Structure 1
Amino acid sequence: MRTALTDLTGVRHPIVQTGMGWVSGPRLVTATGRAGALGILASATMSPEQLRSAVREVRSRTDAPFGVNLRADAGDARERVRIIVEEGVRVASFALAPSRELIAELKDAGVVVVPSVGARRHAEKVAAWGADAVIVQGGEGGGHTGEVATTVLLPQVVDAVDIPVVAAGGFHDGRGLVAALAYGAAGVAMGTRFLLTSDSTVPDAVKARYLAATVKDITLTSAVDGLPHRMLRTEMVAALESAGRLRSLSQAVRRASHFRRISGLSLPRMVRDGLAMRHGKDLSWSQVLLAANTPMLLRSAMVDGRTDAGIMASGQVAALIEDLPSVAELVARIMAEADEALAALLDPYAAHRHPQDRTAAPGPSGAEGTPVDPPPDDRGAVAGPSGA
């Protein structure tokens, strides 16, 4: 399936596996590339040295195009951009809108720049600054997310910019891909669906928690770092939502101390990172510290398997996911479902025909054949497009 996204990035299928901290490592990105989709390494939970090593590991396993996700507000963002350029990474994506200077630096090196946004004005801004494409995440998406649903935000952005738009938030199958294409998107980006594959390194107990989740188990909360954050409702989330300011600060300091030992970051650096993530919000000091060590809270669940002590970012679509296919099986299934959905749109009554009659019906391209009347509805009359 050729779209503006596949032409831009060189992948076979218009599907993007998003950069998820502690999840989108070399194993998942390699599997995604081999399956013909675009895998994105999550660098926010890696040191610069680990990022360079991860890029080289993926390249040693596949020659498929892949990308790296960056935090535009990180203090070492420019150093990470340099690594991307030096290592010849094909795509750079950003969790927040990058500066005009970072976009220019990457584009001058031939890197495809694809920021993620949650508002039309942000898409217009990065497009004006030279971004090659944009990932638009609606409120259904996991992690930090906005309030506007994908079905409202996506057409807004498609109509507002002249670069390829990739739809994110609420996608997990071929029907969703076709729906996104119908809105004018060039493809879809998925996080939770790729997290729930056999190629994901997330512990089995954590995957089981996701698979058991219902729509009511997936919440949008600001208790973690003061910003809207969609995740599974866990013991940790409940504790943060019920804790007062002093208790929250005590918990934040304790977790920050643990994160410092693992990450090697100084407390002043953590505070600076936390303040950078405020984005003009009036956050408490506990939220500033939690914002800085959110990676630690993610690690507790996604690496250590501590569903009671970590946070589990999740799109609402987790409530629809029931299996753990390999990435190869998932991508192949999505594309087969997309083909079936497109065929059904072009010939909506095919499923009701006798198999021997289906070949006689006109094909999608208008090829000659013997039309077959659609089945009558319950009242004996053929239902038209308007239901008349």
Structure 2
Amino acid sequence: METALTRLTGARHPIVQTGMGWVAGPRLVSAAANAGALGILASATMSVQELRTAVREVASRTKAPFGVNLRADAGDARERVRIIVDEGVRVASFALAPSRELIVELRDAGVVVICSVGARRHAEKVAAWGADAVIVQGGEGGGHTGDVATSVLLPQVVDAVGVPVIAAGGFHDGRGLVAALAYGAAGIAMGTRFLLTAESTVPDAVKARYLAATVRDITVTRAVDGLPHRMIRTELVDSLESSGRARTLLRAVRHAAAFRRLSGLSWSAMVRDGLAMKHGKDLAWSQVLLAANTPMLLRASMVQGRTDLGVMAAGQVAGVIEDLPSCEELIGRVMSEAAGVLGALPEASPPPRPFPPPRPFP
């Protein structure tokens, strides 16, 4: 199936595997790419050297195009951009809007720039700055999310911008792909569905919690970092929501220190990143501090398998996913379902003939 997304990126199918922190590593990204999707490597939880190593590992596993997801507000963003350019990565994706200068730098180097947005005005801004495409995520999506449903947000963005639009939030099968195409999207992006595949390195116990979840078990909370975050409701989430302010901030300080050790960042670099984050989102200092909770609480579950100590970001589709296919099986199934749905749609028929005008009374 050829769309504006496949022509832009070189992927065989109009499907994007999103850059999920601690989840979208070389194994998953290369498997998605080899199966024909656009795999996106998550770099926010990697040091600069780890990113270069991961990019080279993906390149050694696949000849298909892939991308790297970046934090635009990171102090070392330009250093990471240089790795993307030097290593010949096809796509750079951003969860937050990058600067116009960063977009120009990447495009001048032949890198496709895709920005994730949650509002029409954000899509308009990055498109005006030169972004090649946008991923628009509705409120059904996992992780940080908004409150507008994909079915409402997607057509707004399609109508507002002249670049390919990729639909995210609530997609997991071929019916969703066809629906997105009908709205005018060039493809779909999926996170939770790829997290629940055979090549995902998420521990089996955590995958089991996802598979056991119902739609009603997926909630949105601000207790992790002060921003709306969609995840599976657990006892830990309940505990975070009932914690007092002092206890919450103390936990955030500990997590900030732990993340500094893992990332190799200095305290001064973390402060600079915090300043950039505060400016970009107009956050209070307490919210900036709470942001350190997110990577560490996700790591506890996604890497260490501690569902009691970590949070599990999840789109609402987690409540309807029941299996762990390989990426090849998943993408083959999505494309087969899409073909079946398209083939079953009723053919357009000519409009009915108008009724003849009424005869006048004698």
1:268 Cα deviation (Å)?
4.1
Contact 1:271–1:292, Cα closer than 8 Å, also in 2: no
**Aligned pair 1:111/2:111, yes or no?**
yes
* Number of the residue aligned with 2:356: none
TM-score by length of 2: 0.93
CA gap of 1:224–1:273, structure 2 versus 1, over 3 A, is farther
Q: 1:148-297, aligned counterparts within 5 Å?
A: 148-278=148-278, 279-283=280-284, 285=286, 287-297=287-297
Q: Which letter maps to 1:295? A: P
* Number of the residue aligned with 1:356: none
**Cα separation, 2, equivalents of 1:43 and 1:289:** 20
* Number of the residue aligned with 2:11: 11
**Cα separation, 1, equivalents of 2:283 and 2:124:** 26
Q: 1:63-78, aligned counterparts within 5 Å?
A: 63-78=63-78
Q: Which letter maps to 1:143? A: G
**Cα separation, 2, equivalents of 1:238 and 1:51:** 34
Q: Which letter maps to 2:176? A: G
- 217-226 or 330-339, larger mean C-alpha shift: 217-226
CA gap of 1:35–1:282, structure 2 versus 1, over 3 A, is closer
**Cα separation, 2, equivalents of 1:288 and 1:56:** 32
Q: Which letter maps to 1:283? A: A
1:105 Cα deviation (Å)?
0.2
Q: How many residues are paired up?
A: 349
Higher relative contact order, structure no. (Cα contacts within 8 Å, ≥ 6 residues apart): 2
**Cα separation, 2, equivalents of 1:179 and 1:61:** 32
**Cα separation, 2, equivalents of 1:10 and 1:193:** 22
1:290 Cα deviation (Å)?
2.6
Q: Secondary structure at the match of 2:135?
A: strand
1:267 Cα deviation (Å)?
3.5
- 84-93 or 231-240, larger mean C-alpha shift: 231-240
* Number of the residue aligned with 1:88: 88
1:310 Cα deviation (Å)?
1.1
**Cα separation, 1, equivalents of 2:288 and 2:94:** 21
Q: Secondary structure at the match of 1:13?
A: coil
**Cα separation, 1, equivalents of 2:188 and 2:283:** 33
1:294 Cα deviation (Å)?
1.9
Q: Secondary structure at the match of 2:291?
A: helix
**Cα separation, 2, equivalents of 1:280 and 1:262:** 25
Contact 1:235–1:309, Cα closer than 8 Å, also in 2: no
Structure 1 vs Structure 2: percent identity of aligned residues?
78
CA gap of 1:17–1:294, structure 2 versus 1, over 3 A, is same
**Cα separation, 2, equivalents of 1:82 and 1:10:** 21
Contact 1:35–1:331, Cα closer than 8 Å, also in 2: yes
Q: Which letter maps to 1:153? A: L
1:282 Cα deviation (Å)?
4.6
**Cα separation, 1, equivalents of 2:41 and 2:249:** 32
1:284 Cα deviation (Å)?
5.6
Q: Secondary structure at the match of 1:202?
A: coil
**Aligned pair 1:34/2:52, yes or no?**
no
Contact 2:224–2:293, Cα closer than 8 Å, also in 1: no
Q: Secondary structure at the match of 2:230?
A: strand
Q: Which letter maps to 2:284? A: L
**Cα separation, 1, equivalents of 2:7 and 2:283:** 42
